[in-house]
Amino acid sequence: MKKTLFITVALFAQLHAFSCTIISAKDKKGQVWTGNNEDNLFTFKNLINIVPSGSDSYGYVFFTYNDPKQGMQGGVNEAGLFFDFNAVEYTQSKANEKKEYYPGGHVKMFEYIMQHFSTVQEVMDLYKKYRIPGLEYSQLHLADKFGNLGIIVADSMWITKENHLASTNYNLCHGDQQDDPCFRMPIAQRLLKNNEPSFELFTQICDSTHQFYPSGSSTIYSNIHNLSTGEIWFYFGLDFKNACKTSIQELLKRGKTSIYLCDLFKDQMLVKAHTAAENKEYATSIELIESIQDPEQRLTMMRLLVTGLLDMEANIDAYPVFEHFFKQIKPEAKDYYINSFALYCRGEKEKAIESLTEGLKNYPKDETLTDFKNQLEGKFPSKKNYRLELDDFKDATYVLIDGFSYYQFENLLVKVGDKWVGEYSLVPDEYFFRFNVDGKIVTSDQFEVVTYDEKPHNRVVIKKRLFRSQRKIK
């Protein structure tokens, strides 16, 4: 299975709790509604990817982070078929392990589904033959315009007999909801059960189940679909008062392209502040957020802004925005981590270590701060199974692996002597990646260079599961 060098091992406990809320229902007129909250560390780099119809295929749109090739987070086609994923507890399935991989990989599998299927049952029939990698940790929520609402997990699947379906991080096929309380699930179920489905109701559910935490984890965007009419509404940045309305038909008119979802909300204060920071107008960016009158909302928007700029984009030049925010708050452990990450990338290693030392005074038992401090001092925890030592870019201020993780602070290589060093947990696979060197995306001569996604990438094939003594990836 080909993929970019992509691993998401969240460093902080709050990041582990997140799972999208997905809702579907059929109204009395027979119209089918569906939608979801996309929950993660906040980012401005969510893409709406548009694929027009062909002579024998449906047009569709799908959602990704950062890059159209990183795998579909969810999608809908012009035939009225919708899918999205929840994260759930691990489910082992021997039957699933015996299934074939879809030719070309799971991305190709979902491309085929979106291009050729119109019903939930068709997807389930395909899953009987092919496995979906990662489904052991997730569940697939499906809906179609005919009113079929279903769930697929690693070891089972079903179509509900009810006219509504909600899913969060409970494995709905296992009935284990009481083992892992979730405030979102009972809210969504109650509202769906007691009210007529409509755009207003689905907005109410998305708002009532949205998430926000001081870590910067939150509901990034929400999308609501009328599968019967093709209408689509988007919300962004926790603003549930101002929707952007479009339709699958209108989006398909744009042709094959990808657009940032936040670009649909250019007049939103949060988006304006982000645009200013991207244009290196940092004082303007800060002023825009500081103009928000409500103090709680102001801090929330500033948190979302700095999370997008530093955690998710590694916009190191935008550090003044984070620094302004850092001085205003009582920092979380993660804030010390991100502050140190940014300082290190600015070439201020000693200040980065000082920030971690200060963080450990306030959070002495936080292992992530201890591990990161050790790494910056050239001491790695040896908890990973693969060590990379990069000989290139000796004069660089910072080097990140481009394509390693959604979360940029996990991509950092540390300068040890005259090498850039990192340790990672990798499974046997074929990986494609590049390097972010002082803000420029480049390849390294130390690795094979191939064309991937129509661009030069480094390539490496991992053949063994455990290898602790490797000095270079070859």
Q: Which residues are registered as beta bridge partners of 33?
A: 25, 226
Query: For the stretch 72-94, what's the b/e string if a residue is b when 16 or more beta carbons lie within 10 angstroms of its beta carbon?
Result: bbbbbbbbbbbbbbbbbeebeee
User: 474 with 439: CB under 8 angstroms?
Assistant: no
131-182 pLDDT, tens digit each: 887 788 888 999 999 999 999 988 889 999 999 999 988 777 766 544 556 8
| Fold of the CATH domain 2-265 | Penicillin V Acylase; Chain A (3.60.60)
Residue 80: pLDDT over 70:
yes
In which element (H, E) is residue 121 found? Answer: helix 120-127
- Residue-by-residue DSSP string for 42-106: --S-EEEEEE--BTTB--EEEEEES-GGG--SEEEETTSEEEEEEE------HHHHTSEEPTT-H
Check residue 270 and give its pLDDT: 98
Q: Are strands 130-131 and 100-101 parallel, antiparallel or unpaired?
A: parallel
What separation in angstroms does the CA of 113 have from each of 65, 109, 253, 355?
Answer: 20, 6, 21, 49
Q: CA-CA distance, 21 to 361, in Å (whole number)? A: 37
87 pLDDT tier (thresholds 50, 70, 90) = confident
Length of the chain: 474
Helix axes 282-290, 269-278, angle to 10 degrees: 170
Amino acid at 75: G
107 pLDDT tier (thresholds 50, 70, 90) = confident
Check residue 464 and give its pLDDT: 59
Indicate the pTM of the whole model. Answer: 0.90
The domain 386-462 having CATH identifier 2.60.40.10: the answer here is yes
Check residue 4 and give its pLDDT: 43
Report CA 15 to chain centroid distance, whole Å: 11
3-state SS track over 358-396: HHHHHCCCCHHHHHHHHHHCCCCCCCCCEEEEECCCCCC
Looking at residue 212, the DSSP 8-state letter turns out to be B
Residue 93: pLDDT over 70:
yes
49-73 pLDDT, tens digit each: 999 999 999 999 999 988 887 778 8
Percent of the chain, pLDDT > 70?
91
Closest C-alpha among 137, 274, 302 to residue 218: 302
Residue 219: pLDDT over 80:
yes
Residues 6+ apart with CB under 8 A from 150: 120, 123, 124, 141, 142, 143, 157, 158, 159, 160, 165
Name the range with the highest mean pLDDT among 97-106, 353-362, 409-418: 353-362
Lowest mean pLDDT among 132-136, 246-250, 405-409: 132-136
7 pLDDT tier (thresholds 50, 70, 90) = very low
Looking at residue 471, the DSSP 8-state letter turns out to be S
Both tokens of residue 270?
A: 């949060």
Looking at residue 11, the DSSP 8-state letter turns out to be S
Q: What is the mean pLDDT of residues 213-232?
A: 96
Q: CA-CA distance, 232 to 5, in Å (whole number)? A: 33
Class of domain 269-376: mainly alpha
All structural domains of the chain with their residue ranges: 2-265, 269-376, 386-462
Q: What is the mean pLDDT of residues 17-26?
A: 83
Backbone dihedral angles phi then psi of residue 408, each to the nearest 5 degrees: -65, -30
Q: Which residues are registered as beta bridge partners of 219?
A: 39
Both tokens of residue 379?
A: 């001491």
Check residue 311 and give its pLDDT: 95
User: 32 with 42: CB under 8 angstroms?
Assistant: no
Query: For the stretch 434-452, what's the b/e string if a residue is b when 16 or more beta carbons lie within 10 angstroms of its beta carbon?
Result: bbbbeeeebbbebbeeeeb
283-328 pLDDT, tens digit each: 999 999 999 999 999 999 999 999 999 999 999 999 999 999 999 9
